[in-house]
Structure 1
Amino acid sequence: MKSTVKAALAAAVSLCAVTAAQADTIKMAFIDPLSGAMASSGEPAYQSFILAAEHINANGGVNGNEIEILGLDNKISPKESLVQLQKAIDQGARYILQGNGSSVASAIIDAVNKHNQRNPGEEVLFFNYAAVTPAFTNEACSFWHFRFDAHADMKMNGITDWVAKRDDIKKVYLIGQDYVFGEAVAAAAESQLAEKRPDIEIVGNELHPLAKVKDFTPYVQKIISSEADAVITGNWGQDMTLLVKAAADAGQEIPYLTFYGGSSGAVATLGEGAVGTLFQVSELAANQEGISDEQNALVAEYKERFPDYDYYYHRAFVTLEMFDAAAEKAGSIDPIDVAYALEGLSVEGGYGTATMRAEDHQVQQPLFITTVSPDVTFPVDNTDLGWALVEGGVISAEAAMEPTTCEMERPE
């Protein structure tokens, strides 16, 4: 009897050892600003991916394999990003996470394309969680790139639909960052406003240096002089916070319609002045009815774990949830297998269904228009204020969808 028990224990130990040997660590390299002026955008995203990975690991991992997030500081520089990309690949990372800056994303897409062409069997996938220049899932689409955020044209549709219903808005001022993303935002605003409200006059269209402006007062004075009824901006990070600070200091009270009004510090900077004047369009609307207890618990957990920031990068959790589901579907963690499994895949996220469109690798999901309110369950910026849905602020995935010109080239 004793020998039978010993034999069974030995077999169990042997099986565990084999299973452990077969398990792999999936290294994902997070390449974004973790220092300097734009760290307030990079750090909360990095923390979001860490927490998302911990949840997956605690539930058995990805096909039994644990995710490890490698944090690599690119200082918001495309050149430095390529240095960090090579470092990540040398460390065994097969998945790249990046989102802050379309100029950086463009460089990574090009580098990943070249790496995969030159290194068959060692392919790398790029999961883009926030770089939203439309070209990446249109004329510049790549099999190796997947975007988990709505692109600029999709977000702008939500903003311009809202503006179109506001008879009090006759003049609009456009301001953005001077690089490919800022240009895309301005172009989308111009074309969509011309279609939906041709009577609206664009009284300013200005681009400023990325992460270089310390005082936006001169820009705000131009906006005031233009007599604009609303401002549209794609600014993010420090450029968002300092822009609204200058507006608040000048006593401006017109609507600021943004992609990234939720950038860390923006609401705290405006205080009560943000109520009903600061708007954003995103995939996240934490303060709405009908959200599951599980999702609300995750929002609370993030704040408790990382008190300096708020649950903002919901798409980081969607990214890893979709990766986990694709790997399970493929029965593999190989990047090519995962890529094919991601195409057409849907997951139920905390705020609606997310589907990865196969044609261009652009996620399709609901969007929400929110504004700052004191009547919220989850406040932000360590204030009593948070983001609440505006009336008619739910944009279905179908309504947010945009056509694509992508002609995808897939590996044989």
Structure 2
Amino acid sequence: MSKQILKTKLLPLAALFVCALSQAAEPIRIGMIEGMSGPFANAGQAVARNLQFAIERINAKGGVRLPDGARPLALVSIDNKQGVEESLIALRQLTDQRIGFVTQGNSSAVAAALIDGVDKHNQRMPAQRVLFLNYSAVDPTLTNEKCSFWHFRFDAHADMRMHALTEVIKDDSSAKRVYLIGQDYSFGQQLARSARAQIGAKRPDIAIVGDELHPIGKIKDFTPYIAKIRASGADTVVTGNWGNDLTLLVKAAREGGLNVKFYTFYGNGLGAPAAIGEAGVGRVRAVAEWHPNSGQGIANSPSDAYYESFRRRYPQPEDDYVHMRMHLMIEMLAAAIEKAGSTEAAAVAKAMEGARYKNAFHEAIMRADDHQLMQPLYVSVMRKTSDGSVRFDNEGSGYGFKTERYLPLASTMLPTSCRMKRPD
């Protein structure tokens, strides 16, 4: 057998050998603490899909490159049933397994407890420190007075999101009487304060005719709340509700014939578009760091291609809720590990500070002062796909969202009061 033939036959074997080494490499585990059961199970399951999608993309490129070789990422999830105590127990389980990266987001109350828990763990166990990566808990205090070196937030906080919404409300001449409704915990309370302050500053002529907080995850029928909104004479509703609390609210509004505008944080998914249906066209708005139709009108849009790849991975309509920030979080984590040349928490944190992210349709900067991600924001309005105004619908509902206002990165930055204590 000639050397050339032998070499040709050996090439596939070498490829298999490299593949086997890659598969044998110890994965870098990311521990997700999230509500996977109960009233907000759909929100937790959406997170798991998005994180898994992002992890698969990293692994498909060969994993995370380290001095001793490439390692794949792996997701380990624990159901916290949306409880604080359960989340702290989950944190101990993950640290007992020596998992160095913990992620959570669907509750600012849980996030606050985890920040405190991670701080205490890292003080007790300096040789086994962990980083907390927050993809959705948006209470502004978490990167202001409660900021921590060990915590990074990848979502725009409530004041930043409210800034984007009120930029649209400011120019909405039909908005004269606003009703605030939200969930009764730290995030909902902060959102109400932020809405009052920002609307008062930008549109002092607007009357706040209601300010309602309801128990989180407890209300099965929002009809009484819709009756209050109608009685107030409101023409506009501002809400940060998410999960079933949002779906049931907008469903009750539709069934009750409440014809008002909804300015929401999360009205573009998890059943909300289908729940409100035709009544939401031109009336329901949402704010997000990205949405599926953000590339509309751009030939060969990279944004469209990205979204279509997610739809191929999760073809069921009910699985269609894409969180760009979660994908970005995983990519920035992988890049920081590679820059640090280590999975050690402090080294990765320092590599993450000031890090920049940029792809063909999105950019972001992790601000070192408070570990708050700065990125563009979109305010989009609900439209029907059947009338040709949007290409992609949400969750097979027949309704999608079209960009109404784009705020570039520089326009979303707000000051911070963080006074971060850094490790020695």
How many Å apart are 1:79 and its aligned residue?
Answer: 0.8
SS at match of 2:277: helix
Q: For 1:225-249, what per-residue CA distance to the aligned partner results, in whole angstroms no more than 9, with x for missing partners? A: 0001100000000000000001001
Structure 1 residue 382 and structure 2 residue 396: aligned? yes
- How far did residue 72 of structure 1 move? 1.1
**Is structure 2 residue 306 aligned with structure 1 residue 298?**
yes
1:407 to 1:291, Cα distance in 2 relative to 1, 3 A: farther
CA contact (8 A) 2:377 2:409 kept: yes
- Give the Å deviation of 1:296: 2.2
- Equivalent positions of 1:146-157 (< 5 A) are 146-157=152-163
Question: Retained in 2: the 8 A contact 1:174–1:206?
Answer: yes
**2:237 aligned partner, one-letter code:** V
> Aligned match of 2:292 in 274, 277, 286?
286
Unaligned runs of 5+ in 1: none
**Other structure's SS at 2:128 match:** coil
Measure how far apart 1:113 and its partner are: 0.4
Q: Specify the alignment match of 1:406 in structure 2.
A: 418
Note if contact 2:293-2:304 (Cα within 8 Å) is conserved in structure 1. Answer: no
Partner of 1:112: 118
Letter in 1 for 2:346: I
C-alpha distance in structure 2 between counterparts of 1:376 and 1:334, whole Å: 45
Identity %: 44
Provide the C-alpha distance between the structure 2 equivalents of 1:227 and 1:318, rounded to a whole number of angstroms: 42
SS in 2 for 1:127: strand
Aligned residue identity for 2:88: L
The whole-number CA distance in structure 1 between the counterparts of 2:74 and 2:320 is 22
* Cα drift, residue 24 of structure 1: 3.0
Q: Distance in 2 between matches of 1:96 and 1:180?
A: 21
CA distance in 1, matches of 2:374, 2:208: 30
- Normalised to the residue count of structure 1, the TM-score between the two structures is 0.93
After alignment, is 119-128 or 345-354 more displaced? 345-354
Which residue, out of 302, 306, 310, partners 2:320? 310
Deviation at 1:331, TM superposition (A): 1.9
Aligned pairs for 1:340-379 within 5 A:
340-349=350-359, 351-374=361-384, 375-379=389-393
| Alignment check: 8 A CA contact 1:148 1:362 kept | yes
Query: Which residue does the alignment assign to 1:55?
Result: 57
- Of 329, 342, 360, the residue aligned with 1:332 is 342
Deviations 1:83-121 (A, max 9, x none): 111112222311111110001101111100000000011
Instruction: Give how far 1:302 is off.
Output: 2.1
Residue of structure 2 in register with 1:145 after alignment: 151
User: What per-residue deviation string (whole Å, max 9, x for no partner) do you get for residues 287-315 of structure 1?
Assistant: 13348644423322322332122142111
Task: Give the Cα–Cα distance (whole angstroms) in 1 for the partners of residues 376 and 253 of structure 2.
Answer: 30
Range with greater deviation from structure 2 (371-380 or 355-364): 371-380
Note closer, same or farther for the CA distance 1:22–1:405 as it changes in structure 2 (3 Å cut): farther
- Equivalent residues in 2 for 1:180-191 (5 A)? 180-191=186-197
Deviations along 1:343-382, one digit per CA (max 9) or x if unpaired, are 0001114642111000000000000000111222221121
Distance 1:122 1:291, change over 3 A: farther
What secondary structure sits across from 1:269 in the alignment? helix
Tell me, yes or no, if the aligned pair for 2:55 and 2:73 is still in contact at 8 Å.
yes
CA-to-partner distance for each residue in 1:149-200, whole Å, 9 max, x for gaps? 0000000001111111112211100000000000010000011111111111
1:17–1:164 CA distance, 2 compared to 1 (3 A): closer
Tell me which residue corresponds to 2:273. Answer: 267
Contact 1:137 1:404 in 2 (8 A): yes
Contact 1:280 1:369 in 2 (8 A): yes
The question of whether the paired residues in 1 share the 8 Å contact of 2:88 and 2:114 is answered with yes
Q: For the structure 1 residues 331 and 173, does the alpha-carbon distance in structure 2 shift closer, same or farther, using more than 3 Å as the test?
A: same
Query: 2:100, 2:343 within 8 Å by CA — same for their partners in 1?
Result: no
Residue 271 of structure 1 deviates from its aligned partner by 1.3
Distance in 2, Cα, partners of 1:20 & 1:372: 45
- 1:25–1:68 CA contact under 8 A, matched in 2: yes
TM-score, with length taken from structure 2: 0.91
Q: Classify the secondary structure of the residue corresponding to 1:236.
A: coil
Q: What SS does the aligned partner of 1:121 have? A: helix
> Could you list the runs of 5+ residues in structure 2 that have no partner in the other structure?
none
Name the stretch that deviates more: 393-402 or 349-358: 349-358
